[in-house]
Structure 1
Amino acid sequence: MFNLDALTRNNIKTLAPYSSARDEFSGEAKVFLDANENSLGSPLMKWYNRYPDPHQVKLKQAIAKVKSAQTNQIFLGNGSDECIDLLYRCFCEPGKDNVIICPPTYGMYEVSANINNVEVRKAPLLDDFQLDLVHLESLADANTKLIWICSPNNPTGNSLNRTDIETVLNNFNGLVVVDEAYINFSRQRSWVGELAEYPNLVVLQTFSKAWGLAGLRLGMSFASDAIIEIMDRVKPPYNINQVTQELALQALEEVGQVNDMIRLIVDMRNALAEVLVQIPGVEKVYESDANFLLVKIREAKKVYEYLLTKGIVVRDRSNVKLCDDCLRITIGTEQENTLLVDALGSLY
C-alpha cells in the first residue's frame, strides 16, 4: 500500500519551513514595512521593489482553470528542473535510497539524482521505445522511492502505453513521476485528470514548450495536496519571481493563440517527417507526439557537423542508447525547416 508518510524523509517531516514576511501577513494594507524592501522603488518599475507572492495564488488559480485541477494540487517551480530536484530532496535519503529511470530519457533525472547522492537504476526502453515492465519490477526494492516516466518521451518523441503506466502506478508503492513536457503536441490524455485515482502519481508539465516561454523558467507539478504540501515546505520562499508570474498570467489569457501554435507545429512536424524520409541517407523518421523528430540517418555525427557549417544546429543523439546514428530535430519555423531540408538535400 502507498504510504506517503513512510516515503517522506524523516528530516523533512519535522522541517519547519522558512516563514517569510508575506507568509505572516494576509489581506490588504497600504503601508508595507515588514520585509526590508527598498521602499523608494527600483530603477526599473516601482512595484518590482516588492517581493513576489511566495504562493503564486493568482497564477495557480489561472492554471487550475486551464488544466482542470485544484490549486492545492499545483506546485510551481523555477523550471521543471526545480520540481525534479525537490522530489529528490523531499523523498530520497542520500546514500540510501534509489530511483529508476528508463533510458533513453530526459537527462536531468540522472543528473539531479547524482547531485543528491541517490542511486540510479536503469530499465532501458524496449526496441519499440516502450516500458520494459519485467525489468522495472526486477529493479524495484524497499528503497526505491521514485520511478521516472517521460511521456511523450525525450529524445524518442513517442508516448508510452497508458496501460503500462497504469500497471506501474498500481504495483509500485513509491512515487511515479510522469513528465508531460510535450503533452500539448500529443493526442494522448494528460495524467493530471487521474490524480484522485492514484495517490502516488506526480505529473510534470512546463511553460517552456507549447507555451513558448522557455526563457521564463516556469515548471508545474501536479499531485495530491499532501505531496504538494511537502514540496511547498522545502522550496525557497520566493522561487517564482514577479516578472514570471505576471507574464505567465498574461499568457494564460491567450489559450486560443497557443492552441493555434500547437496545431501549426504539429502540421509542420508531420510535413517535415514526410519530406525527411524521402532524403537519401535518412533510414527512419520515428513517429512523434512532441515538437521534434528523432531521425535515424547514416553517419549522423558527420551530418551533424555538416549542418553546423550551414549554421544549423540540431541535437546529436547518436551516443544515446537505442538512438544509434540518430539526430533529434526540433520543429522550427517554415523557413527554418526549409533551410534544413535544403541543406540535407545538398549533402546527398
Structure 2
Amino acid sequence: MSDTHRPSTVTLPTLSALPAPWHSENGTPAPRRLIAADDTLRAEAAYRLVCEGTALLWRGDYPGALRLLHAMRRRAERRRPRSAPDCPAEAFRQHRRERARLARVLGLLLVPLDADHRVRLHRAPDVREACLAAYGPLLDNRIVSLRELLGVIGAHQWRIRGVEVPALGAHIHPHYGVFSPVRGEYVDLVARTPLPQAALDHPTAYDLGTGTGVLAALLARRGLRKVLATDTSVRALACARDNAHRLGLTERIETAGSGLYPPGRDRVALVVCNPPWLPGRPGSALDEAVYDRDGRMLHGFLDGLADRLLPGGEGWLILSDLAEHLGLRSRADLLDAVSGAGLRVTGRLDTAPRHPRATTPGGADPLLRAARAAEVTSLWRLAPA
C-alpha cells in the first residue's frame, strides 16, 4: 500500500451497524460511522476518512491491515502544530493533544475477533493466548481496534519474556494494562537506600500502588518479612501476585485492593510509594501509571503516612521532578504538601534517568527535550514532624 497513491475513487459499502459487539479495554466508545474496507482503499483516502471520524472495518487480509495502519501512522506523524509552544507546560499539553489525536484516528481501523479469540482475517497470526490473557473469556464475537490488538500482542510478549531488573537479580513479568518497570533508576534507589532502624527491628512494610509488584519483591528480598502491596487495579494485583509466586515470595508478600492504604490502622516500619509523576488526567489504564489526576495519589500517600508509621519508621516517596521542569508543579508545592501532612524530610537520594527520552536528543519539541534532559528522580525519606 504505497504512500504515493492518490485518494481512491472506489466506492466502499457503508455499514449501518457493527456486525458484532464493540470491545475496547480503555473505554473508547463504539464508532458512529463505519464503512467496510479492503485493499482497494488507498492510504490517503483511509487517513482522510478516519480523521473525519469514520471507522474502517477491515475485510482484506491481515498483512494488508498492518500496511494500511503503518501508512496512516506516517501521515498522522507528519502533521505539525499550527504554532510553536512558548513554554514547557504548553509544549507538554500540545504533545499530549497530539498523542490523543494519534490514538483516536489510528484506533478507527477495526478487525473482527471470534469468541475463541481468533482474528477472522486471512493470514492472521494466532493471537488466542494473548487475547485470553488480556480480555478473559469472550461469550461472543467482537469487533476490536487493530491498534489495541497490537498492544495486546506486544504486552503478551513482555509477559512471556519478562523485564530484567538488575537490582532484583531477576525478571518481572508485567501483565496487559500494568506499567512495565522499564525505568530501572527508581528501583535502584529503593535498593540503595538504607533501611530505617524500625524496619530492622520490625521488618514490615506497605508498597502503595504496587503495579507489577517489583518494589514489594525488592523489599522482601532486602529482608522485610511482611510486605502488604496495595493497588486499585485488579490487573495490577493479579500481576503482583504472579510475580511474587514466580520469585518464591508468596509467604512474604500479600496483596490488597480497593484503596491506597490497606483497611485497618496497622502501623508498619516502612511505607513506599512511587506515584504517577505528572499531574494530569490519564487517558488509558497505562496512563494511570504516568498521570496523577489532581495529585490524588501523591497527596493521599502524604496525608495518610504519619498515622501508619511505627516509631522510627519512614515513608519513601519516589518521584521524578519532570513536572517541575514542565511547569506543572513546583518544588515549593511539593514541600508544602509534605509539611502540610505533618511530615519532615530526613534525607534524599537522587539519580539521573536512563530512559531513551532523557538521553536521545531528537524526536520531541526542544522545550520538552530540555525538560527531559534536566530530569532527576529522587527518593525522599519522610518521617513525622
TM-score by length of 1: 0.31
Larger Rg: 2
Structure number with the bigger relative contact order (C-alpha 8 A, sep ≥ 6) is 1
- Pick the structure with more strand per residue: 2
